[in-house]
Structure 1
Amino acid sequence: MARNPDAIERDIERARSALAATIDQLSVKANPQRLADNAKTSVQAKLEEPKVKFPLIGAGALVAALLIRKLVR
């Protein structure tokens, strides 16, 4: 059964609009600045967790003590 050319054109236009909307969504999601901001926020949130924050402070203090000890000798 043959389709009406007008119906085919409407289907093509709907598909074109849907594709344009999808491309717009992908461009927003793949924006490098947005990705960097999300990564930064994620890392900051992780570093604020006590189970991560305090061991890092301890490791920093240990490194500082070892450096001071090495410089004094």
Structure 2
Amino acid sequence: MARDPDTIEREIEQARKALASTLDQLSEKADPKRLAESAKTSVLAKLEEPKVKYPLIGAGVLIAALLVRKLFR
């Protein structure tokens, strides 16, 4: 049974709109500025965790102490 040409055209137009919407969503998700901001936020949040924050502070103090020791020897 043959399909009505008007129905086919409507389905094609609906598919085009859905594709355009999907492409818009993908372009928003793939925006480099948005990705960079998301990565920055994620890293900053991770650095605020006590399990990460305090060992980094300790490592920094140790390095500073070693540098001071090396300079005054």
Q: Same fold (TM over 0.5)?
A: yes
The list of structure 1 runs, each at least 4 consecutive aligned residues, that deviate by more than 4 angstroms after superposition, is: none
Supply the RMSD in Å over aligned alpha carbons: 0.5
Provide structure 1 residue ranges, at least 5 long, that are not aligned to the other structure.
Answer: none
1:21 is aligned to: 21
Shift of 1:35: 0.3
TM-score by length of 2: 0.98
Residue 30 of structure 1 aligns with an amino acid whose one-letter code is A
Residue 34 of structure 2 aligns with an amino acid whose one-letter code is R
Provide structure 2 residue ranges, at least 5 long, that are not aligned to the other structure.
Answer: none
* CA offset digits 1:18-41 (Å, max 9, x no partner): 000000000000000000000000
1:40 is aligned to: 40
3-state SS of 1:2 partner? coil
* CA offset digits 1:9-67 (Å, max 9, x no partner): 00000000000000000000000000000000000000000110000000000000111
Number of residue-to-residue matches in the alignment: 73
